[in-house]
C-alpha cells in the first residue's frame, strides 16, 4: 500500500497538477507527501555559466554563479512555501526536501523511502518541446526503482483505472499496484491485453483473473486485437474512456528499449491521463 508519496516540484504547470493529484491521493490513502525540489547543480557548475560569463567579458564563476545561486534559492523558497500551504489546506502531512544535484539523481535520492514517485509529464521548458516527454521524467522511467506516476497538465482523481497486461513480470506487478489502488479508492478495474492471437490473449486474461481474485475488486477484462500496443492503449483513454493507466515499464529487451524507447515512454509522452509505470518487477 502507498503510504509515502514523493513529488517532483519545479514550478511548472505540469508539476503543479502532479502535486494536486498527489495530495488528493494522499488524502484518500492517509499517506505522507514528500515534496522534492532540486536545485540543478549541473546548471550552476556546467558549461552554461562559463559560456555566458565569457560572452559578457568577465571571469567565469565570480559574480554570475553567486547571482544565479541566489535566484534559484529564492525560487526554492517560494516552492517550499507554496507546498507547505497546499499540504495544510489538504490536511495532509508534508515534508519538503531540497536537493542540490542533477535533477534525476536528486529526485531519486530524496525519494528513496517513498512508495511512489509523482512527476509532471513535462517540465519548466515544456513550451520549447511540446511533443516530448520531459527529460527528467523519461530518465526516471529508465532508472527509478520506484513506480513512477507521470501526470499531464490536466488530471484529477481517477474513476476508471485500466491496467495493461502482457504476461511479463512487470505487468504482474502492475496488476498488483492497480488492484491495491482500486481497492483503496473503491473503484472498478479494467484489465486489457493487446494481442492478435485470441488463444494467447485468453490465456493471459485467465492468468490475470486468477491473480486478482483474492483482492476482491470488481474487474472487467478486454481483448484488443492489434499490432501497435501503444496506439491501442491511447485509443482507450479519456475523454470517452479510462482516466488512469497502470503498466509495466520496459517490456522489451533493454537493448531494444535503449535504441527505440519503450511502450511506457511512448504512452506517457502522449497520454492525456496519468500513467502509473511499474519500473521494477
What tens digit of pLDDT does each residue of 87-121 get? Answer: 999 999 999 999 988 889 999 999 999 999 999 98
Least confident of 144-153, 162-171, 218-227, 248-257: 248-257
- CA distances for 171 relative to 7, 93, 144, angstroms: 24, 31, 16
Predicted TM-score (pTM) of the model is: 0.85
- What residues have CB less than 8 Å from 101, skipping those under 6 apart? 38, 40, 41, 109
| pLDDT tier for residue 134 given thresholds of 50, 70 and 90 | low
- Mean pLDDT, all residues of the chain: 84
Task: Spell out the domains of the chain, with CATH numbers in brackets.
Answer: 4-151 (3.40.50.620), 161-272 (3.40.50.12370)
| The three grid cell numbers given for residue 207, joined into one nine-digit string | 492468468
Amino acid at each position: 500500500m502507498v503510504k509515502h508519496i514523493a513529488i517532483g516540484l519545479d514550478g511548472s504547470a505540469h508539476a503543479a497538477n502532479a502535486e494536486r493529484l498527489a495530495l488528493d491521493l494522499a488524502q484518500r490513502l492517509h499517506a505522507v507527501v514528500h515534496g522534492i525540489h532540486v536545485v540543478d547543480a549541473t546548471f550552476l557548475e556546467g558549461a552554461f555559466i562559463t559560456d555566458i560569463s565569457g560572452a559578457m567579458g568577465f571571469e567565469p564563476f565570480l559574480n554570475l554563479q553567486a547571482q544565479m545561486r541566489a535566484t534559484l534559492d529564492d525560487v526554492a523558497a517560494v516552492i517550499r512555501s507554496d507546498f507547505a500551504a497546499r499540504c495544510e489546506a489538504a490536511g495532509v502531512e508534508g515534508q519538503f526536501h531540497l536537493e542540490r544535484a542533477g535533477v534525476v539523481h536528486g529526485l531519486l535520492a530524496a525519494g528513496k523511502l517513498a512508495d511512489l514517485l509523482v512527476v509532471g509529464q513535462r517540465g519548466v521548458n515544456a513550451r520549447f518541446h511540446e511533443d516530448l516527454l520531459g527529460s527528467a521524467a523519461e530518465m526516471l522511467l529508465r532508472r527509478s526503482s520506484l513506480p513512477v506516476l507521470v501526470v499531464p497538465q490536466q488530471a484529477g482523481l481517477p474513476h476508471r483505472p485500466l491496467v495493461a497486461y502482457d504476461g511479463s513480470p512487470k505487468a504482474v506487478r502492475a496488476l498488483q499496484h492497480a488492484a491495491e489502488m482500486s481497492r483503496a479508492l473503491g473503484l472498478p478495474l479494467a484489465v486489457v491485453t493487446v494481442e492478435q492471437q485470441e488463444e494467447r490473449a485468453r490465456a493471459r486474461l485467465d492468468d490475470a483473473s486468477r491473480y486478482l481474485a483474492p483482492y476482491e475488486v470488481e474487474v472487467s477484462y478486454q481483448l484488443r486485437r492489434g499490432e501497435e500496443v501503444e496506439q491501442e492503449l491511447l485509443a482507450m483513454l479519456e475523454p470517452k474512456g479510462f482516466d488512469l493507466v497502470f503498466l509495466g515499464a520496459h517490456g522489451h529487451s533493454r537493448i531494444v528499449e535503449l535504441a527505440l524507447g519503450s511502450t511506457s515512454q511512448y504512452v506517457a509522452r502522449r497520454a492525456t491521463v496519468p500513467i502509473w509505470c511499474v519500473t521494477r518487477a
